[in-house]
């Protein structure tokens, strides 16, 4: 069956088309769907697009930012108000991929991709999706846990609080190839500080499980403490707890477990 392209002006219509057709995929930047088509994925026979401007809108002036699902990484890099997201945006692909790839698509990118989503998970983002019955917000953690079932839904935007202090949010992607390489592991940490104490620590990891996950044991080791050497050591020691990494071409599960604590320690202590 040939491929049909359906373009809608409203995201609601696009979402309806997506949910009514098992062979339909939403085309964002093309880095996932076009690749699948090029490689002969015949399960896709309808491409759905939406020209709704809301999908490419950035609201970043206030303390809460909302980024349309169709916003590219290059646009994030061009937005001064999104400086806290520049490191994760820059870690995606090369320049061409950053000009094409979108925040919404990244939510669906399997290992070893999906690094931007690691940052969003640490930032406790909300994912706004359009379903058959209108739009609703899903916490990103819940969204990721059910990702396999989300292919028929249309993501409209993601939103999150800006980190209070610039060094409260840290991100690092460990890749074999520089400057552009697939993730061996990816780490993001949001450590809001109240007084001298960390309150509401969130550590997110990529490539440490089938989807991006939180390192809850490490978070517990940080919560309510000051970020000193002992705390960092405790968090690093707990980093692998509760993770379920796999083997792939970039590294083994064993290796990932061995280094996740090392890199978390370096990230938290500001070492190269």
Partner 1 sequence: MAKTALQFRHNGRDVAIFVDGGTNLLVALRELIGDMTPKFGCGQGGCGACSVLVDGELHLSCLTLAETVAGRSVETLDGIKDGPNLHPLQRAFADNFAAQCGYCTPGMLMAAKALLDRNPSPSRDEVVEAISGNICRCTGYEPIINAVLAAASGGRARA
Partner 2 sequence: MTRHRGRGIASINYPIGMNLGGDPSQALVHSNPSGKFTVALSSIDLGQGMKSVTRQICAETLGVPVEDVYVDTADSDTGPHCMGSFASRGTHRVGNAVMAAAREARGVMMEAAAEELEVNAADLETDGRGNIHVKGAPHRSISTKDVAIAAQFKQGKTISGRGIFLVPLSNVDPETGEMSPATCYAHACMVAEVEVDDETGEVAMVRMDSAYELGRALNPRLVEQQLVGGAWMGVSHALYETPEPYYPDPSHGPRDFVEYLMPGPGDICPHDIAVLERPAPDGPFGAKGPGEMCANPVLPAVANAIFNAVGVRIDDLPITPEKVLRAIKAQGGARPQARR
Partner 3 sequence: MLELRKDIFADERDDNLKEIGKPTQRQDMLGHVTGTSPYFNDHMLQGMLHLKVVRSTHSHARLRRIDTSEAERAQGVRRIIRGADVPVNLNTLLSLINFGKDDEPSLAVDKVRYKGEPIVAIVADSEREAFEAIAKVKIDYEPLATVFDVEDALKPGAPVVNEVYPRNTFTYHETYDRQQLRFGDADRALATADHVLEQRYQMSPIEHAPTETNGSIAAPDTNGRYIVYTSTQALFFSVDTCAKILDVPSNTFHFIGGTVGGGFGGKVDTLTEPLCILGAMLTGRPVRYVFGREEEMQYGPPRGAERIYIKDGVMRDGRIVARNIRAYFDSGAYTRLSSYAAVKCAAHLPGPYTIPNVHGDVYCVFTNRTPATAMRGFGVTAMDFAIECQMDKLAHLVGMDPMEFRILNAYRDGDMKAHRREAKNTALIECVQVAAEKAKWPIREEFRRMSSRKDGGGARAAIPATPPESHAPVAAPSQQRTTYDRAPVATREPPPPPPPPSSPTPPRPNAPSHGATRFSSVFGTRRR
Least Å from the CB of residue 2 to partner 3: 7
Measured from the CB atom, the residue of 21 and 255 that comes closer to partner 2 is 255
Per CB under 8 A, does 4 bind partner 1? Answer: yes
**H/E stretch holding 37:** helix 33-38
Question: What distance in Å separates the CA atoms of residue 48 and residue 54, rounded to the nearest whole number?
Answer: 16
**Bond before 70 cis per omega within 30 degrees:** no
3-state helix, strand, coil in the chain (%, to 5): 35, 25, 40
Structure tokens at 174: 């460990």
For partner 1, give the closer residue by CB, 179 or 195. Answer: 179
Can residue 2 be called a binding residue for partner 3 (CB under 8 A)? Answer: yes
Contact (CB, 8 A) for 90 and 172:
no
> Does the footprint of partner 1 cover residue 96 (CB under 8 A)?
yes
Q: Does 100 bind partner 1 (CB under 8 A)?
A: yes
Distance from CA of residue 156 to its chain's centroid? 15
CB nearer partner 2, residue 112 or residue 163: 112
Interface region with partner 3, contact rule CB under 8 A, candidates 35-43, 138-146, 175-183, 264-272 = 35-43
112 binds, among partner 1, partner 2, partner 3, none (CB under 5 to 8 A by kind): partner 2
Using CB under 8 A, pick the residue from 1, 5, 133, 177 that binds partner 3.
Answer: 1
Is residue 148 near partner 3 by the rule CB under 8 A? no
Residues that bind partner 2 (CB under 8 A): 112-113, 176-182, 247-252, 254-255, 258-259, 262-263
Residue from 16, 34, 54, 234 binding partner 1 (CB under 8 A): 34
45-48 LR contacts (CB < 8 Å, sep 24+)? 45/1, 45/2, 45/3, 45/4, 46/3, 46/4, 46/5, 46/6, 46/17, 46/21, 47/3, 47/4, 47/5, 47/6, 48/6, 48/7, 48/8, 48/14, 48/17, 48/18, 48/24, 48/154
42 binds, among partner 1, partner 3, partner 2, none (CB under 5 to 8 A by kind): partner 3
- Answer for which of 80, 94, 195, 249 binds partner 1 (CB under 8 A) is 94
In this complex, which beta carbon is closest to partner 2, that of residue 10 or of residue 252? 252
* Distance in angstroms (rounded) separating the CA atoms of residues 266 and 271: 5
Residue 129 and residue 136: Cα distance in Å, rounded?
Answer: 6
By beta-carbon proximity to partner 3, the closer residue of 38 and 271 is 38
Report the nearest approach of partner 1 to the CB of residue 40 (Å).
10
Structure tokens at 54: 């809301």
**Distance in Å, CB of 50 to partner 3, minimum:** 24
DSSP string, 125-154: -EEEEEETTEEEEEEHHHHHHTGGG-TTSE
Cβ proximity to partner 3, 3 vs 78, nearer residue? 3
Q: Which of 95, 110, 146, 224 binds partner 1 (CB under 8 A)?
A: 95
Of the pair 37, 209, the CB lying nearest partner 1 is at 37
Q: Please report, for the chain, how many H helices and E strands are present, in that order.
A: 11, 14
DSSP conformational letter for 63: S
Judged by CB under 8 A, does residue 47 bind partner 1?
yes
């Amino acid at each position: 069956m040939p491929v049909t392209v359906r373009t809608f002006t409203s995201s609601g219509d696009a979402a309806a088309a997506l949910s009514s057709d098992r062979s339909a995929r939403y085309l964002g930047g093309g880095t996932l769907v076009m690749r699948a088509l090029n490689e002969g994925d015949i399960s896709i026979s309808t491409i759905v697009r939406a020209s709704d401007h809301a999908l490419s809108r950035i609201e970043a002036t206030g303390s809460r930012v909302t980024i349309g699902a169709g916003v590219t990484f290059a646009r994030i890099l061009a937005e001064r108000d999104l400086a806290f997201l520049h490191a994760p945006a820059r870690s995606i692909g090369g320049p061409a991929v950053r000009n094409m790839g979108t925040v919404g698509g990244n939510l669906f990118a399997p290992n070893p991709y999906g690094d931007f989503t690691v940052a969003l998970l640490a930032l406790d983002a909300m994912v706004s999706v359009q379903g058959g019955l209108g739009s609703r917000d899903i916490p990103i953690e819940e969204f990721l846990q059910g990702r396999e079932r989300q292919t028929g839904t249309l993501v409209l935007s993601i939103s999150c609080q800006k980190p209070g202090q610039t060094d409260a949010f840290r991100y690092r992607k460990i890749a074999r190839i520089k400057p552009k390489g697939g993730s061996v592991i990816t780490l993001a940490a949001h450590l809001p500080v109240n007084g001298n104490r960390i309150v509401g620590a969130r550590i997110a990891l990529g490539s440490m499980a089938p989807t991006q996950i939180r390192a809850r044991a490490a978070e517990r080791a940080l919560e309510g403490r000051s970020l000193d050497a002992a705390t960092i050591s405790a968090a690093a020691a707990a980093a692998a707890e509760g993770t379920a990494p796999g083997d792939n071409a970039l590294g083994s599960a064993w290796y990932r477990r061995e280094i996740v604590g090392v890199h978390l320690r370096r990230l938290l202590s500001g070492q190269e």
